[in-house]
Amino acid sequence: MSAHMRTAPKRIAVDLGSQSYEVVVGPGARDLLSEMLPAAAKKVVVVTQPSVGVEVEPGRPATVVELPDGEQAKTLASVEMLCRAFVDASLSRDDAVVAVGGGVTTDVAGLAAALYHRGIGYVNVATTLLGQVDAAIGGKTGVNLPEGKNLAGVFWQPAGVICDTDVLATLPGRELASGRGEMAKYAFLGDEPPGTALLRLPIDEQVARCVGIKVAVVASDERESDRRVLLNYGHTLAHALEAARLTSPEDIPTDTGGLERDKAGLKHGEAVAIGLVFAAELARRMGRIDEARVDLHRRVVSGFGLSYDVPGGSVASDLVTLMARDKKARGDLSFVLDGPHGVELVRGVDAALVTDTLVEMGCEP
């Protein structure tokens, strides 16, 4: 496609009063970075990871700081390292951080920006599909603890978010698959009836549709006190699967070549895809939905090219223990589940029912 035929990036407003900002979606969106930074910012620190390989032009003097690649960078130690790098770069309260990367980068850099000088501005430049449809938007920052995913963090809204769909062309297949897993949940959220329509849109429109749904939810419930919890659809089991991997290093094979799906290789969106079908199966067992609705979940997940098979060696009792630590839980097992009125939070789910559903899906008891 020639340059003059390119579609202009779409601007989607996040209405949060004095904390309002825009998410810019489309080809070439990162060219708008300079205008999205806080006007008072005289210098910036660009936070990225070695594998990202996306360059940006902030229009101000910039220092580049790299986090280690991978999920292992989501630690409090990384946050301290970034804050000390901000000191070395002489960032003032008026200056800004630019996070360039996927969810790991935006989560860690956002938390560091929230803590440094008790909060400075930052812009997320999301370079993965997962980041563009979810992690970079909404001001949720955080890192992992040994006990589980995203257990330490704060809400700190960015000054803007850039979702340049040009960068998706260079993503490895597994990274695209991970983003599609997160995208699949949006087929069951928003105002339209659940279905497979999202599957048929071009990538730019898919991202914009997902962003629009997330932005509407965030604007109505910034601090996840009510409606925003629906964005965790499929995530309760997903986070447990990821935590089981993080806390069981002895189970991680030394060679996980190819596309083998195991505890070492399961990506976040792949885990969410499994979690969506699990949530549907659990809702069916509870009499909330019928088998046809469960099958719709399977068709959406499969339509995005994803599996909903639980990784081999997963133990139901271990996963139930991890799910009880989920941030939605209040001393019980809580899940976002489909039902006659759509997706909603359900508390006090019977552990035996959860275990039976996991075993039915292939977990060991």
Share of the chain above pLDDT 70, in %: 93
**Topology of 227-251+260-360 in CATH?**
Dehydroquinate synthase-like, alpha domain (1.20.1090)
CA 24 – CA 22 distance, rounded (Å):
6
Q: Is 28 within 8 Å of 6 (Cβ atoms)? A: yes
CA 226 – CA 340 distance, rounded (Å):
19
Nearby residues of 4 by Cβ (< 8 Å), 6 or more positions away? none
Say if residue 279's pLDDT is above 80. Answer: yes
Q: Could you tell me how far CA 83 lies from the centroid of its own chain?
A: 23
Q: Which CATH number fits domain 3-171: 3.60.20.10, 3.40.50.1970, 3.40.50.10480, 3.40.50.300?
A: 3.40.50.1970
Q: Is 80 within 8 Å of 73 (Cβ atoms)? A: no
pLDDT of the residue at 247:
52
pLDDT of the residue at 315:
96
Q: Where are the domains of the chain?
A: 3-171, 227-251+260-360
CA 341 – CA 283 distance, rounded (Å):
12
CA distances from 324 to 97, 174, 225, 283, 313 (A): 35, 29, 18, 18, 20
For the four alpha carbons of 36, 18, 182 and 266, in that order, the dihedral sign comes to positive
pLDDT tens figures, 305-335: 999 999 999 999 999 999 998 877 777 899 9
pLDDT of the residue at 147:
81
> What phi and psi values does residue 348 have, to the nearest 5 degrees?
65, 35
